[in-house]
Structure 1
Amino acid sequence: MYELLDQHRMFHPTCLDDFKNLKDLLDRFEALEKIAAYMKSDRFMKTPVNNKMAKWGTKRSE
Structure 2
Amino acid sequence: MRRFTFLILGMLTIVLFFQNRYRVLNFVLGQDRIRHYFIHWIMRIPFFRNKFTQPAY
Question: Under TM normalisation by the shorter chain, which class is it?
Answer: 0.3 to 0.5
> Greater relative contact order (Cα 8 A, min sep 6): structure 1 or 2?
1
Normalised by the length of structure 2, the TM-score is 0.34
Higher-Rg structure is 2
- More helix as a share of residues: 2
